[in-house]
Amino acid sequence: MADGKIRQHLSPQAPLRKSPRSRVRALGNRRIVADGLDQNVWKDFYYNAMTASWPRFFGVLAAAFVLLNALFALVYALGDAPIANARPGSLSDLFFFSVETTSTVGYGDMHPQTMYGHVVATAENFTGLMLLAVMTGLVFSRFSRPRAHVIFARNPVIDLHDGVRTLTFRLANARNSFISEATAKLWMIGPAETAEGRRFVGFQPMRLLRNENPTFALSWTLFHPIDKDSPIYGLSEDELLASQINFIVSIRGLDETSAQMLFARETFAAADVRPGHEFVDLFSLDEAGIRHVDYSRVHDTRPSQH
């Protein structure tokens, strides 16, 4: 980031100065404008198709289908009565014949009757098969892509844990399936400066006491002791909350239902941390002695009772 191609706007309210080749990215409480990127959608077609919203994804596919058939209808119209039973001069008949050809439906009421019509229909059949293969592959990829449904508590807390001041994160598995051999990592992102006076954004790993979970089914609490080995050791609460530090929690594990690896990640700004708080207990017992877990309280904290 020291090359000046990415400008950081540290104030969330600051106006964003964007060029036509800019992209806005969020990292914790920071907004970053990335300039000089190539916006050609075709150079990263698969990524754009996989990251687009479902309405936009299907909207683009529908628009491409309609435009393709309209184009072939115009090509058919250049010939001399190439399609049998199509009304003379009717683009709508040629369009719907194109739809039947592209989708390989072929009702039979209209069909090619000239060499020109057969040649165009052959080209359209090939194009339609390729388009159908691409659409099927993209839809399958989007549906089959494993997604973790992990809820991260919005506010990490700082409290005593085993007598040590500890930064604590809580997360919960919102699905009924187990995530086996789950592992967690915690990173700190913050501004740093080299001995030569160059400023950059540095990543530092942060030790977790419970970074492995054999069967992540309900909730999981991650503890980072703020000891002399912690990158935030020595910071007062006010200094931490006012800093530009961000914390990244990443989770990975095997989903037993799909037998695929799942990944989840969340970024927290230092301002999100609640010193002197603790998480509200999620578990309770009813009158019959049955244990309940209340996911609606995942984000709830309270002043520390210690």
Contacts of 224-229 with C-beta under 8 Å, sequence gap 24+, read: 224/166, 224/167, 224/168, 224/169, 224/186, 225/161, 225/164, 225/165, 225/166, 226/158, 226/164, 226/165, 226/166, 226/167, 227/164
Per-residue confidence band for 198, with pLDDT thresholds at 50, 70 and 90: confident
**What integer pLDDT is reported at residue 33 of this predicted model?**
67
Closest CA to 267 of 160, 162, 158, 186: 186
Instruction: Outline which parts of the chain fall under CATH 2.60.40.1400.
Output: 150-303
The CATH fold of domain 43-144: Helix Hairpins (1.10.287)
| 122 φ/ψ angles, rounded to the nearest 5 degrees | -65, -45
**What integer pLDDT is reported at residue 3 of this predicted model?**
37
Tens of pLDDT, residue by residue over 105-149, are: 888 889 999 999 999 999 999 998 898 898 888 888 887 776 778
Tens of pLDDT, residue by residue over 141-163, are: 887 776 778 899 999 999 999 99
> Which amino acid is present at 97?
F
Tens of pLDDT, residue by residue over 262-293, are: 899 999 999 999 999 999 999 888 888 888 88
Q: What percent of the chain has pLDDT over 90?
A: 50
Residue with tokens 């941390």: 273
**What integer pLDDT is reported at residue 13 of this predicted model?**
45
pLDDT over 70 at 1, yes or no: no
Contacts of 199 (CB under 8 A, 6+ apart): 2, 191, 192, 193
pTM of the model: 0.67
Contacts of 25 (CB under 8 A, 6+ apart): 31, 32, 33, 34
The CATH fold of domain 150-303: Immunoglobulin-like (2.60.40)
Instruction: Outline which parts of the chain fall under CATH 1.10.287.70.
Output: 43-144
* More confident site: 86 or 36: 86
**What integer pLDDT is reported at residue 4 of this predicted model?**
34
CA dihedral in degrees (69, 71, 76, 77; nearest 10)? 120
Tens of pLDDT, residue by residue over 56-94, are: 989 989 999 999 999 999 999 999 999 999 999 899 999
